[in-house]
Structure 1
Amino acid sequence: MTDGGAVVGGLDLDQLAPAQRRMVEGLMAVGTPRPPFDPERAGRIRAMVESRIAEAVEGRPADAQRIVLGKTKLDALGCDGRYLDMLATPFEWSAPTVRGQLVHGSIELDHQTGRQHTVVDLMDDSWEQFRHSGDSALAFTSDLTDLESERMKADAVTAVEEFRAVFPPLPRSWSMVWEPTIAARFGAGAVTVKGKPDLVLGRPHPHERRMLLADLKTGSRSGKDRADMRIYALLATLKYGQAPFRVATVYIDEGAFEHEDVTGRADAGRATEHGAAADRPARGGPPGGGPGLSLVRAGPHLSGEAALGRRTRRHGRGRPPLLTPAERVSGNCGGRPRIRHASWVRGPRGR
């Protein structure tokens, strides 16, 4: 905690609203000494992950498709039904996902411009940036009526206004990086794990761990929020050669946050967990990587082995169901059916 009247890095704490000051003192831990930097930590983590996937990688064909895993796929690997659903369903924009894009884009621009613009102006810019970010975004927005577009922007404006109310206007001199891509390659490039935290506050330092990684959430809390941040902590450690001192999720609707300080013990646990997760697709070959079937070993939510791979025969006209009724079994994981043996599953599209 800081003393009353303190000015830290150009930020006058007495000029902050209670919720904003809580973020500075509680989340960012301003004035609290940072933990020391362990130069061997990144090497230990990499060795742990490599050891978990070594056997699977050695057995892969030389021309096998390389596996790329993000936090969504890593999370889905804990449940075969969810994973198969994700692979078979192409990504489509929806009102919630577009809202998230608009909110994050406007918050980033708001910081860069020192909160000198109205949120409505920021949102207009973010809307245009999103519309022209790709063919799918342009197609989605083109199908909306004017009222639907304005309603979506108005909803996002509310979220950014609420963010302003609970998150402090940090000086532009503070080191903040928005949505950086952090990635790590394993098994001589056979497996790549990627992540993109919303915000990295602070940069690598020669002697101390000063980085804070945070995600900003405008919806309700999820049980996997903390797991997502742990993935980011592991990837950041490997990319920068040092771990962040803390990872956190900021819940804008509540004006609250949950954080976890990064420790050596936590690093070991994350490396073991994610090494095991990466091991599963590595053993079976890349999902959808070619005709035929490949096996993904049973995980904690699996009731057997799930067969993954591209469908090798037609199944009537139109879009086929993911699984026939005979291929579904009792039990579920996150509301999705477990699978004992599936004769076919369509390969991934769009993710």
Structure 2
Amino acid sequence: MANTVRGLLPAQQATLDAIRTPAEHRPAYPAGFANELRNDAESALNRLVDAARNIDSRGLWVAKRDLAGVFGCEARYVADADMPFEWSVPTARGTVLHKAVELSTHRRFEPEDAVDAALERLVADDDNLGGFLAEASDGERADLTANCVALLARFGETFPPMQRAWRPAAEVRARARLCGGAFVLNGKYDLTLGSPSPLGGPDRLQRAGKVIIDLKTGSRTPTDPEDLRFYALVETLSVGVPPLGVGSFYVAEGRIEHETVTAEVLNSALRRTIDGIGRLISLRTDRREPRRVPGPPCRWCPISVDCGPGQEWLSDPDD
């Protein structure tokens, strides 16, 4: 990314300072780095291939939500998976904002115009969200628009204006197939800036340059850092070069929590992913009772009424 952007607000400057790394300080990796990481992953997962194929012959797809579920309250994860998803103003808010940001990466919009354009694009899509938006009441549509305009205006005041040289991209889908497709690590990045670049030489070094950013319209959750490390792993396995950094940008706070990606970060993400896949397969095949882990999510858990540990947690005044 360019080293200078003039006329920034203090919050915009703080965000830029957090994600910007001068080219001479960016790490470089040998061309075989990602292959070694892939070999480690497949060596550990080979023993689970048959079980994964029994669950789905097309491959076991694993996303950050699945890992967060099996490392958190398994009972809630299973209950959420069994319930049909229904769009609402709160659940649609993030998707509309992401689409508005995506449109704004290529053209300057006023927040109201960007949100209107995002809603128009999403309604035109023949999917469940498009159907919800098309059938939403005037009040729901006005509420959603007002929320997203406010969030986009906040984003514009706290995130530096994206320059074409940064190669901004939004809603980027990424996948990494392992063990012949028995496992598919699946991700969708809200926003990426920058790109890797080859340095050449006898080791065919590749310089990291991409920053992956999750846009958060809600509150912080304990799994936010792990979610992004999973994205860093997917990016490394699919592109062949680790990202430079990852970060969660909390729109309401106007603040980014950024982490530089290193080999240690990727190895940690790999261990967690392998462990999580094992737990996911065990949960789906052994028919064991899912673990119940009470905590703040009990407040909106669909099975909290019938959950003893959850009710105990909710009735504790200290919580």
Q: Which residue of 1 aligns with 2:79?
A: 85
Q: Which has the higher Rg, Structure 1 or Structure 2?
A: 1
The alpha carbon displacement at 1:144 in A equals: 2.4
The alpha carbon displacement at 1:86 in A equals: 2.2
Question: Separation in 2 of the partners of 1:63 and 1:73?
Answer: 15
SS of the equivalent of 1:182 reads: strand
Q: Which residue of 2 aligns with 1:104?
A: 98
Q: Which runs of 5+ in 1 are unaligned?
A: 1-7, 288-293, 304-320, 337-351
Aligned partner (choices 54, 63, 68) of residue 70 of structure 1: 63
Question: Separation in 2 of the partners of 1:63 and 1:250?
Answer: 35
Question: Separation in 2 of the partners of 1:174 and 1:265?
Answer: 26
1:226 maps to a residue whose letter is P
Q: Which residue of 1 aligns with 2:242?
A: 243
Cα pair distance change 1:30/1:155, threshold 3 Å: farther
Deviations 1:93-149 (A, max 9, x none): 121221111111111211201x2x322111111111112223422432244221321
TM-score, normalised to structure 1, is: 0.76
Contact 2:105–2:168 (Cα < 8 Å) also in 1 = no
Q: Aligned-pair RMSD on alpha carbons?
A: 2.9
Question: Separation in 1 of the partners of 2:45 and 2:187?
Answer: 19
Contact 2:111–2:149 (Cα < 8 Å) also in 1 = yes
The alpha carbon displacement at 1:53 in A equals: 2.0
Q: Which residue of 2 aligns with 1:259?
A: 258
Q: Which residue of 1 aligns with 2:33?
A: 41
Cα pair distance change 1:323/1:30, threshold 3 Å: closer
Q: Identity over the aligned pairs, expressed in percent?
A: 29
Question: Separation in 2 of the partners of 1:323 and 1:16?
Answer: 46
Between stretches 151-160 and 170-179, larger displacement belongs to: 170-179
Q: Is 2:289 the partner of 1:295?
A: no
Question: Separation in 2 of the partners of 1:69 and 1:94?
Answer: 25
Cα pair distance change 1:149/1:204, threshold 3 Å: same
Contact 2:18–2:258 (Cα < 8 Å) also in 1 = no
The alpha carbon displacement at 1:41 in A equals: 2.5
Deviations 1:283-334 (A, max 9, x none): 67xx5xxxxxx316799x579xxxxxxxxxxxxxxxxx98996xx6x5469x
Q: Which residue of 2 aligns with 1:234?
A: 233
Question: Separation in 1 of the partners of 2:36 and 2:130?
Answer: 45
Question: Separation in 1 of the partners of 2:50 and 2:268?
Answer: 24
TM-score, normalised to structure 2, is: 0.83
Q: Which runs of 5+ in 2 are unaligned?
A: 199-205, 294-301, 315-319
Question: Separation in 1 of the partners of 2:268 and 2:288?
Answer: 20
Question: Separation in 1 of the partners of 2:162 and 2:133?
Answer: 33
Question: Separation in 2 of the partners of 1:23 and 1:250?
Answer: 9
The alpha carbon displacement at 1:224 in A equals: 1.2
1:222 maps to a residue whose letter is T
Aligned partner (choices 12, 21, 40) of residue 20 of structure 1: 12
* Mapping 1:296-335, distance limit 5 Å: 330-331=308-309
The alpha carbon displacement at 1:58 in A equals: 4.0
SS of the equivalent of 1:219 reads: coil
Q: How many residues align?
A: 296
SS of the equivalent of 1:45 reads: helix
Contact 1:203–1:211 (Cα < 8 Å) also in 2 = yes
The alpha carbon displacement at 1:46 in A equals: 1.5
Q: Is 2:181 the partner of 1:182?
A: no
SS of the equivalent of 1:106 reads: helix
